[in-house]
Structure 1
Amino acid sequence: MAKRDYYEILGVSKDASDGDLKKAYRRLAMKFHPDRNPDEAAQEQFKEAKEAYEVLKDPQKRAAYDRFGHAGVDPSMGGGQGPGGFHGDVGDIFGDIFGDIFGGGRRAQQRQRGSDLKYTLDLDLEEAVQGISREIKVPTLGSCKACDGSGSQDGQRETCSTCGGAGQVRMQQGIFSVQQTCPSCRGQGERIAHPCSECGGQGRVRETRTLSVKIPPGVDNGDRIRLAGEGEAGPNASQAGDLYVEIRVRPHRIFERDGDDLYCEVPIPFTTAALGGELEIPTLGGQVKLKVPAETQTGRLFRLRGKGVKSVRSRSEGDLMCRIVVETPVKLTRAQKELLRQFAESHGDEGSENNPRTESWLSSVRDFFERMTS
């Protein structure tokens, strides 16, 4: 797969200044850095942006890239040599290749840390709106208590037999002799003499950790809470990863949330819709009264300001939107049906005035059929 142009990755022109490069990289880093966005695709974009910036901020590397493209700076494509062969340290050219074979050199050691974890926490709407403290149980790899995460049973270490304590080994690759980090001791020059019997020298054991999580008021579906250092323990007492608690709000019987606003349907008898009345409306803070004017139709929305959700970010309050649904009466008695017939007959020729939407719809239907038959 062809690599993308470095200028295109950062979103700058080829004559961009050092300040422009730094500003573009900072913007992408804020968006895709693993601490802010643990998504795998975002991490790849962060690595891509970091690689582009590392090359373009260096005047010599940038000049080589402008002249030869990726072949001018990529070790696997010639390492910035252009026409005329290799220049510089051969070990640097092949470092990444042998680093992969050996499982990582010094840079891999620096990046070594425990894995981040994700935990999905289900909440009721009331809990998400009001905030809550909740205990969760997280299965993870924790630091071995028997050896304090060191992996050693007695703290003793011995000289690595692979590299003789040098921390590096020399390998022959064709005509090149390359010195690389020792794969057995990872450059330390020594190994654990007596591995811990509890963790087998790994420094980590499987455990279920109980944590208390404080959920702030106003969280919504997909919001995440980062608990630094509560992910998997790092190997050999290295840095632990983070735990990301992702919120999932259960469906509610009455309310539906849209951002900071709440929506609910309010069924009313057709007599109340026709004559008007006053209703008791439920909110997350208690009941409030809603005046329904006469001649209210299905679908009309009433806004109750400040009765929605207080935003977790801006602290502003949303509204409660009440949608009226006029209910047709069912299970009528014979007397009730007779009264309704009398009511319908009482309209007479004035039915169009009592039911303007029905009359308008019927008029549209008549016009439609007239056009179809003409």
Structure 2
Amino acid sequence: MVGDYYKTLDINRNATDADIKKAYRRLALKFHPSSNRETGSTETFCQLGEAYDVLSDPRKKATYDKFGEDGLTGGIPPEFGSSGAWSSKYVYHGKPEKTFRDFFGGDNPFADFLTNDTPLQFGGLQPGAVKTQGPQIERDLHLSLDDLFHGCSKHIKISHRVMNEDGHTSGIKDKILAINVKPGWKEGTRIIFPKEGDQGPNCIPGDIVFIVRQTSHSLFVRQHNDLIYKAQITLQMALIGFSVDVQTLDGRLISIPVNDIVHPSYHKVVTGEGMPLSQDPERRGNLIITFDIQFPKKLSADRKYLIKHALTFK
């Protein structure tokens, strides 16, 4: 464990994604064991790789910022697991060269790049070099159930490296990516932006992929295209009938009569009141109502007598 990742990259805790990339680029080139006999350091280079691996990943960074080293390496407590932060135990893979190659692209990073400040003294753009595509970058896109029911537009700012006109130096630029969320999209839906990753002289930019992560809802649980709603009812209601009022995601209040006897495994299906189907938003899944029957905690002798005779069938 490095300790203070921000201190390792010589940045403050308000650093943006672009600041993190700039800091890693500068320091990784400076301390790479092959770059310079005076500054090259295997230990420092490994620490830089671990710090960048954590701070460049929103989920790992969120866990580190909120729970510190213990939360990152030990895993966050289950009660915090729904926050969207990294929940498993983090261990750096210990391969700073891999982190370096993934950042700059190519198997021989020093063969391709010149920095903004100082050209590398060995290598540069190799004539006739075969361009390879950089690694795919994946980011979570957290959406509410309402977003996925109605559809919406999300605008996300990314910071990526682009080549300057001279073809040798590069800089960090911000770009806004627009995502049109379609009604009915599910957890795990992948939205791909081709070649929006970092550029390099001998590197084709990798794709940026956003993966839909659905946040929890106060009333409904989603199950594929169906919505599950749990209603609390009394034992009396379970036996003699009642109606359930449900506020739908599109703002309607619907009343569902229940005339059956509600037993523990009973559920009521309301057709066409679930999530829209992503391929055909005019069609919808079902609303499934389950029931939590509240039994009385105590019964007097008189009430027991009455219930006994009321439930005696002849």
TM range (shorter): 0.5 to 0.7
Label 1:263 to 1:273 Cα distance change in 2 as closer, same or farther (>3 A): same
Task: Tell me the alpha carbon deviations over residues 243-289 of structure 1, each in whole angstroms, 9 at most, x when there is no partner.
Answer: 11111111112111111111121111222222212221222222211
Structure 2 residue corresponding to 1:327, chosen from 269, 294, 310 = 294
Label 1:317 to 1:149 Cα distance change in 2 as closer, same or farther (>3 A): farther
Counterpart residue type for residue 345 of structure 1: Y
Provide the residue aligned with 1:138 in structure 2: 158
Establish whether residue 213 from structure 1 lines up as the match of residue 179 from structure 2.
Answer: yes
Label 1:127 to 1:103 Cα distance change in 2 as closer, same or farther (>3 A): same
Provide the residue aligned with 1:127 in structure 2: 147
Q: Is 1:231–1:243's contact at 8 Å kept on the other side of the alignment? A: yes
Distance in 2 (CA, whole Å) between partners of 1:274 and 1:349 is 15
Establish whether residue 317 from structure 1 lines up as the match of residue 277 from structure 2.
Answer: no
Provide the residue aligned with 1:10 in structure 2: none
Q: Is 1:304–1:320's contact at 8 Å kept on the other side of the alignment? A: yes
Label 1:226 to 1:269 Cα distance change in 2 as closer, same or farther (>3 A): same
Provide the residue aligned with 1:226 in structure 2: 192
Q: Is 1:221–1:249's contact at 8 Å kept on the other side of the alignment? A: yes
Structure 1 residue corresponding to 2:273, chosen from 303, 307, 311 = 307
Counterpart residue type for residue 113 of structure 1: Q
Label 1:350 to 1:328 Cα distance change in 2 as closer, same or farther (>3 A): closer
The DSSP-based 3-state class of the residue aligned with 1:251 is coil
Matched ranges for 1:255-266 at <5 A:
255-266=220-231
Provide the residue aligned with 1:96 in structure 2: none
Provide the residue aligned with 2:5 in structure 1: none
Label 1:125 to 1:149 Cα distance change in 2 as closer, same or farther (>3 A): farther
Q: Is 2:131–2:204's contact at 8 Å kept on the other side of the alignment? A: no
Label 1:324 to 1:305 Cα distance change in 2 as closer, same or farther (>3 A): same
Label 1:149 to 1:317 Cα distance change in 2 as closer, same or farther (>3 A): farther
Q: Which runs of 5+ in 2 are unaligned?
A: 1-106, 113-124
Distance in 2 (CA, whole Å) between partners of 1:294 and 1:116 is 54
**CA shift at 1:314, angstroms?**
4.9
Structure 2 residue corresponding to 1:150, chosen from 153, 162, 167 = 167
Distance in 2 (CA, whole Å) between partners of 1:257 and 1:221 is 10
Label 1:258 to 1:149 Cα distance change in 2 as closer, same or farther (>3 A): farther
TM-score by length of 1: 0.45
Structure 1 residue corresponding to 2:205, chosen from 240, 245, 251 = 240
Matched ranges for 1:280-359 at <5 A:
280-285=245-250, 286-293=252-259, 295-315=261-281, 316-329=283-296, 338=300, 341-348=301-308, 351=311, 353=313
Q: Is 2:142–2:214's contact at 8 Å kept on the other side of the alignment? A: yes
Establish whether residue 118 from structure 1 lines up as the match of residue 138 from structure 2.
Answer: yes
**CA shift at 1:351, angstroms?**
4.5
Distance in 2 (CA, whole Å) between partners of 1:257 and 1:269 is 25
Distance in 2 (CA, whole Å) between partners of 1:296 and 1:271 is 10
The DSSP-based 3-state class of the residue aligned with 2:262 is coil
Identity among equivalent positions (%) equals 19
**CA shift at 1:113, angstroms?**
3.4
Matched ranges for 1:76-87 at <5 A:
none
Q: CA RMSD in A?
A: 3.4
Provide the residue aligned with 1:279 in structure 2: 244
Q: Is 2:231–2:244's contact at 8 Å kept on the other side of the alignment? A: no
The DSSP-based 3-state class of the residue aligned with 2:180 is strand
Distance in 2 (CA, whole Å) between partners of 1:283 and 1:149 is 57
Higher relative helix content: 1
Provide the residue aligned with 1:358 in structure 2: none
TM-score by length of 2: 0.53
Counterpart residue type for residue 346 of structure 1: L
Label 1:216 to 1:351 Cα distance change in 2 as closer, same or farther (>3 A): closer
Q: Is 1:148–1:237's contact at 8 Å kept on the other side of the alignment? A: no
Q: Is 2:272–2:287's contact at 8 Å kept on the other side of the alignment? A: yes
Distance in 1 (CA, whole Å) between partners of 2:201 and 2:308 is 90
Matched ranges for 1:52-63 at <5 A:
none
Label 1:353 to 1:109 Cα distance change in 2 as closer, same or farther (>3 A): farther
Counterpart residue type for residue 277 of structure 1: F
Counterpart residue type for residue 222 of structure 1: G
The DSSP-based 3-state class of the residue aligned with 1:122 is strand
Distance in 2 (CA, whole Å) between partners of 1:303 and 1:263 is 9
Q: Is 1:150–1:237's contact at 8 Å kept on the other side of the alignment? A: no
